[in-house]
Amino acid sequence: MPRQKENHNVPVVKNPAETLRALHDVAESGVDPLGVLAPMAHAHVAWLMHPLELAELGAKFSGDLMAFTWHAWNRALGLPSEDPIRPHADDTRFADPVWQESATWDIVKEWYLLLTHNVQDALYDTPAISGKERRRAAFWWRKWLNAMAPTNFLLTNPVAMAKAAETNGESLVRGMHIFLEDLRAGNVRMTRPEDFSVGKNLATTPGAVVFRNRLVEVIHYAPTTDQVHAMPVVIVTPWINKFYILDLNPKKSMIKFLLDQGFSVFVTSWKNPTPEMRDVSFEDYIIEGVNEAIETARGLTGAPQVHAVGYCIGGTALSTWMAWANRKHGELDQVPVAHWTLLTTLVDFSRPGDVEVFIDEGAVRWLTQSMQQKGYLDGKEMAGAFRLLRSNSLIWQYVVHGYLYGEAPPPFDVLYWNMDTTRMPYAMHAWYLRELYLRNNLVRGDALTIGGQPIDLGRIRQPLYAVTAEDDHIAPWQQCFRVCNHVPAEKRFVRSSSGHILGIVNPKVEPPKRSYHVGVAHRRDRFQQWQERAEEHAGTWWEDWVAWLKPQAGPLVDAIPASTDKFPKLADAPGTYVLEP
């Protein structure tokens, strides 16, 4: 009988503790890699182990159930009755009058709200487990409760049934067509891709690609004024999604706004990574991306220093570069950036907001193994995770309106951009998740090394203008404020209304649709102290930003064309990388 071949890839463990840990890791990766079941199980066990608190919880639910029963009897008998439980202010699922006017559907709605609110309150109040564990249990339960909402099913959605009756079933036929189109696309689409085309009705501001390497194209935009400030503006965009969120159309374009204000504008457009780029690191993005963009702007304009802007992960990269450059160059006037702006940027990842439900040791290990096999993280996976954070507004709304009402999604440029996803290189994203999200090393002095230099945010001395968004669920403004505690330079801090995208893509309109709070931030401030001092203004923070920036951006000089002999045009804006699938 031939001898069985040994498997030398099996990990060797030295003691029982390591054996148990290895078994735990295998089970976790195979059964519950994202930590969906474990937090809910821990919450249930915790309640069972605290009978006194469980009895109090039962008494509260009994009171709510009694109020609901009284309300249901009143409605069934045709008597007036105030709803004992109301939807949250941002819950629009039951906005149609039928959910209030019809006794039957009002009772269905109230029963659903009774259960969901009590379950969520119980999970947030779970005794003897950590706050993070409570939030994770509540999150995953909430996703299931959202999916089971009566609005999501034809026979429990009176609006959908009424539309079907009014159209003789045509709304359901249209809904089936929309469902089949989404099925072919592999996505619940939020807008129709055929309504938009990058370079035709998106990202149309004239300019030229003046630098290209394996990671980035640098676009210099054609001036719209005869003279510009001597100091150029370099915008480091996120490589999660594509740069044209800042250049959707002429009315919404931050890039065009800056050009019209007399600035010379450079923008990064990142390559969509392929499996061959699996080993591209975060450090590569800093040195070959951020640094090259800044050096290109200095070389083309002749300016010794620039103003740098970083958005989202682009801001995290810019913060890393600023710490590296201050360590490398030492003297303040030798650092290539004179002052800088951050847009909805995290540097302290200790409380990263709702996204923390996807991030723990087990989830990162599983995701790293998945990326290692493919060489990248697929953009659709990341987009799906972000949509799950707001499943009612970003998933179920489109299911209901599309499949049940038969309504095609309207054209919306922001949502098209949101669906135009990009991939993340394995090495970069694995490092990013582990070193920043898990270990929070960016705010630990000299804990990270970039370009051979240990970095510390405490070395950054250039004035900072930081913008956050009040309803941002990706980079919560309170956590974004923490940059003020780690950077000792002068800081002007802004909290815009709206969320992660619309708080930044915030052009001037009349009458104003949004507002912002602004004020000086000190290193020892907590966000509550800044909030007490901050002034509220109607309109867009863009105007406050340029008022802060212009006095520091140098004198007016003759504008330079988009490309020069030294930096010839490699392609017209928006370039080639942005068009890659």
pLDDT class of 35 with cuts at 50, 70, 90: confident
- pLDDT for 36 equals 82
Q: What percentage of the chain exceeds 90 in pLDDT?
A: 83
175 Cβ neighbours under 8 A, 6+ residues apart: 402, 403, 404, 405, 406
Contact by Cβ (8 Å): 497, 344: no
Per-residue CA distances from 420 to 197, 236, 239, 267, 417 (Å): 11, 18, 12, 18, 5
Three-state DSSP class for residue 525: coil
Whether the pLDDT of residue 3 is over 60: the answer is no
Whether omega before 488 lies within 30 degrees of 0, making that bond cis, reads no
The pLDDT of 355-365, averaged and rounded, is 88
Whether the pLDDT of residue 26 is over 60: the answer is no
**If you average pLDDT over every residue of the chain, what do you get?**
93
pLDDT class of 14 with cuts at 50, 70, 90: low
- pLDDT for 30 equals 61
- pLDDT for 262 equals 98
- pLDDT for 392 equals 93
Whether the pLDDT of residue 564 is over 70: the answer is yes
Per the annotation, the verdict on 484 as an active-site residue is no
pLDDT digits (tens, 9 = 90+) for 311-348: 999 999 999 999 999 999 988 999 999 999 999 999 99
- pLDDT for 22 equals 59
Torsion sign, CA atoms 391, 392, 394, 400 = positive
Per-residue CA distances from 55 to 60, 71, 103, 141, 387 (Å): 9, 24, 32, 21, 36
Whether the pLDDT of residue 120 is over 70: the answer is yes
- pLDDT for 6 equals 46
Q: What radius of gyration, in Å, describes the C-alpha atoms of the chain? A: 27
The pLDDT of 219-223, averaged and rounded, is 98
- pLDDT for 8 equals 44
The pLDDT of 501-523, averaged and rounded, is 94
The pLDDT of 157-173, averaged and rounded, is 97
Catalytic residue among 38, 248, 312, 338: 312
Whether the pLDDT of residue 10 is over 50: the answer is no
Whether the pLDDT of residue 449 is over 90: the answer is yes
CA distance 10 to 443: 37
566 Cβ neighbours under 8 A, 6+ residues apart: 299, 300
Closest to 315 (Cα-Cα) out of 283, 350, 290? 290
Burial class (CB in 10 A: 0-12, 13-18, 19+), 513: middle
Whether the pLDDT of residue 1 is over 50: the answer is no
Whether the pLDDT of residue 17 is over 90: the answer is no
- pLDDT for 386 equals 87
pLDDT class of 39 with cuts at 50, 70, 90: confident
Contact by Cβ (8 Å): 118, 36: no
Burial class (CB in 10 A: 0-12, 13-18, 19+), 264: buried
- pLDDT for 5 equals 46
The pLDDT of 461-472, averaged and rounded, is 97
What is the pTM for the complete model shown? 0.91
CA distance 128 to 197: 53
96 Cβ neighbours under 8 A, 6+ residues apart: 158, 159
Q: How many CB atoms lie under 10 A from the CB of residue 512?
A: 13
The pLDDT of 292-296, averaged and rounded, is 98
- pLDDT for 459 equals 96
The pLDDT of 285-313, averaged and rounded, is 98
